[in-house]
């Protein structure tokens, strides 16, 4: 299998954790005789410094010629006084829009024994394995018209979805559920919103093509509660843009640390893979960042762009194994846990590489 990957390491801990993700990809490629080639490209603060733009034309053009894009993080305090359109973060928003992915996948997994690091009781979270599929290009965040009239003391946003926009993201959710535990929970507010009534109707229609997958509908308000009470009962959770933003962040507590969360955005010209965390300027350059979010993101590259499901699962199993063995970067270390081995970014990554069974 050949895969050309755009590597957009970015700022802060971005390059540190991306490096570890690449080590994992290289180990898988070497073992399976695959050819993964990488193109290092600038984005964010490093691109502003070198090229005068947070997303240089050359970066975008080269990324569009790749099979997948792996992004670290962007953002640096020295740009805090810049207007939003000239900050490193503008490069990230622009590349997401240009690549055009509409299905944002965010797994929320309670790794043992990390579950007891979460504010939720371990017996509630243990075994949780949710995959959020959040629609990323529609809804309130993009709907027109949008305005704030300060004189009239009035502001306006528009929640709008077409049937086609709902159908395409629903299809991805059902396809993913077929490869998992065959359940889709679709979230809406159909008791109040017309957009949600359309959403529910279209999702129910798409579901007919996937008779092996169980579909349930949940209203977003009670869903927020169910996720905290019975997280184990969910498999794939399909949501529109705003609801998914809120619910997937809520589920961050199940995993315990921002440094553990991967994401993938599918459906556009090039799939975009990125850990959920930012550039973490407070710990950048110290070699202590948790590389697991980036490594789990590499597993998503293997699963969704390389079609290497077995290898992706092997990487995820290796992450579980090193956590069980007590390996902890600073963000997930606990003072009272006797068995833990406090490790650096590189040591954590090395432990995962040693634990991958291909
Ligand atoms: P952040 O995610 O960078 O950091 C929040 C907290 O989590 C910090 O205490 C940080 O040390 C910790 N943390 C994050 N990732 C970690 C990891 N892998 N290992 C250990 N600890 C980790 O969010 P923050 O501080 O709000 O933003 C910092 C910069 O990053 C800003 O410029 C922001 O705009 C940018 N940002 C970029 C994102 C991206 O590139 N996708 C996403 C979020 C923020
Ligand atoms: Mg958010």
Mean local confidence (pLDDT), 71-92: 95
Does residue 334 carry a pLDDT above 90? Answer: no
Taking the CA of residue 80 as reference, the ligand 1 atom at the shortest distance is: 32
Check residue 249 and give its pLDDT: 86
Q: Provide the β-strand partners of residue 265.
A: 104, 272
If we measure between CA atoms, which residue out of 99, 97, 67 comes closest to residue 1? 67
CB 230 within 8 A of CB 223: no
**Token representation of residue 165:** 């926009």
Strands (E) located in the chain: 2-10, 35-40, 68-73, 103-109, 129-135, 147-149, 154-156, 183-188, 214-219, 236-239, 264-266, 271-273, 327-328, 341-342
Query: What is the spatial distance between Cα 45 and Cα 108, in angstroms, rounded to a whole number?
Result: 29
pLDDT tens digits along 121-157: 888 888 999 999 999 999 998 899 999 999 999 999 9
Check residue 256 and give its pLDDT: 76
Evaluate whether the domain defined by 119-255 bears CATH number 3.30.2450.30: no
Query: What is the spatial distance between Cα 295 and Cα 309, in angstroms, rounded to a whole number?
Result: 15
CB 260 within 8 A of CB 107: no
Taking the CA of residue 77 as reference, the ligand 1 atom at the shortest distance is: 32
Check residue 116 and give its pLDDT: 60
Check residue 293 and give its pLDDT: 97
Does residue 100 carry a pLDDT above 80? Answer: yes
Mean local confidence (pLDDT), 12-38: 98
Ligand lying closest to the C-alpha of residue 20: 1
If we measure between CA atoms, which residue out of 351, 271, 296, 280 comes closest to residue 108? 296
Does this model's pTM top 0.90? My answer is: yes
103-107, 334-338, 349-353: which range is least confident on average? 334-338
CB 171 within 8 A of CB 156: no
The answer to whether ipTM exceeds 0.85 is yes
As a whole-number percent, the residues of the chain with pLDDT over 90 amount to 87
Does residue 113 carry a pLDDT above 70? Answer: no
Does residue 164 carry a pLDDT above 90? Answer: yes
Mean local confidence (pLDDT), 52-71: 98
Check residue 117 and give its pLDDT: 64
Check residue 257 and give its pLDDT: 83
Which residues touch 326 (CB under 8 Å, ≥6 apart)? Answer: 337, 339, 340, 341
Q: Which residue has the tokens 């843009």?
A: 241
Mean local confidence (pLDDT), 66-78: 97
If we measure between CA atoms, which residue out of 280, 271, 272, 296 comes closest to residue 348? 296
Level-2 CATH architecture, domain 1-106+256-358:
3-Layer(aba) Sandwich (3.40)
pLDDT tens digits along 256-289: 788 999 999 999 999 999 999 999 999 999 999 9
pLDDT tens digits along 282-332: 999 999 999 999 999 999 999 999 999 999 999 999 999 999 899 999 998
Query: What is the spatial distance between Cα 36 and Cα 337, in angstroms, rounded to a whole number?
Result: 39
Fold agreement between 1-106+256-358 and 119-255: yes
DSSP 222-290: HHHHHHHH-GGG-SEEEE-HHHHHHHHHHTHHHH--GGG---EEESSSSEEE--SS---TTTTTTT---
Does residue 333 carry a pLDDT above 90? Answer: no
As a whole-number percent, the residues of the chain with pLDDT over 70 amount to 97
Query: What is the spatial distance between Cα 157 and Cα 192, in angstroms, rounded to a whole number?
Result: 17
The angle subtended at Cα 191 by Cα 187 and Cα 195, nearest 5°, is 65
Q: Cα(353) to centroid of ligand 2, in Å? A: 30
For the chain, what are the domain ranges?
1-106+256-358, 119-255
Burial of 277-295, coded b for 16+ CB within 10 Å and e otherwise, reads bbbbbebbeeebbbbbbbb
Check residue 115 and give its pLDDT: 58
Ligand lying closest to the C-alpha of residue 279: 1
Q: Which residues line ligand 1 (CB under 6 A)?
A: 13, 17, 73-75, 89, 92, 258-259, 274, 277-283, 289-290, 293, 331
Residue 149 a catalytic site member? no
């Amino acid at each position: 299998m050949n895969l050309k990957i755009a590597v957009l390491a970015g700022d802060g801990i971005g390059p540190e954790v991306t490096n570890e993700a690449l080590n994992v990809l290289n180990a898988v490629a070497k073992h399976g005789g695959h050819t993964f080639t990488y193109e290092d490209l600038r984005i964010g603060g490093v691109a502003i410094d070198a090229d005068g733009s947070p997303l240089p034309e050359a970066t975008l053009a080269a990324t569009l010629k790749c099979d997948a894009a792996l992004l670290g993080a962007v953002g640096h305090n020295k740009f805090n006084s810049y207007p939003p359109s000239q900050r490193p973060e503008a490069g990230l928003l622009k590349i997401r829009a240009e690549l055009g992915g509409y299905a944002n996948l965010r797994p929320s997994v309670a790794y043992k024994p990390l579950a007891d690091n979460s504010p939720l009781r371990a017996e509630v979270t243990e075994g949780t394995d949710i995959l959020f599929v959040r629609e990323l290009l529609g809804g309130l965040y993009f709907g027109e018209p949008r305005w704030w009239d300060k004189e009239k003391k009035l502001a306006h946003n528009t929640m709008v979805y077409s049937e086609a926009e709902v159908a395409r993201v629903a299809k991805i959710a059902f396809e993913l559920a077929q490869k998992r535990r065959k359940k889709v929970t679709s979230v809406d507010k159909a008791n109040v919103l017309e957009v949600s009534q359309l959403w529910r109707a279209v999702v129910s229609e798409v579901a007919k093509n996937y008779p092996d997958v169980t579909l349930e509908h949940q209203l977003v308000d009670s869903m927020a509660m169910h996720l905290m009470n019975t997280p184990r009962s969910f498999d794939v959770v399909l949501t529109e843009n705003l609801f998914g933003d809120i619910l997937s962040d809520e589920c961050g507590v199940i995993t315990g640390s921002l440094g553990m969360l991967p994401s993938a955005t599918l459906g556009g010209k090039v799939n975009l893979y990125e850990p959920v965390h930012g550039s973490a300027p407070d710990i950048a350059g110290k070699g202590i960042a948790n590389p697991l979010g980036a490594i789990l993101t590499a597993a998503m590259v293997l699963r969704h762009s390389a079609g290497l499901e077995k290898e992706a699962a092997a990487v995820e199993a290796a992450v579980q194994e090193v956590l069980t063995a007590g390996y902890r970067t600073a963000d997930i270390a606990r003072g009272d846990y006797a068995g833990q081995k406090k490790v650096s970014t590189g040591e954590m990554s090395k432990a995962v590489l040693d634990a991958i069974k291909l």
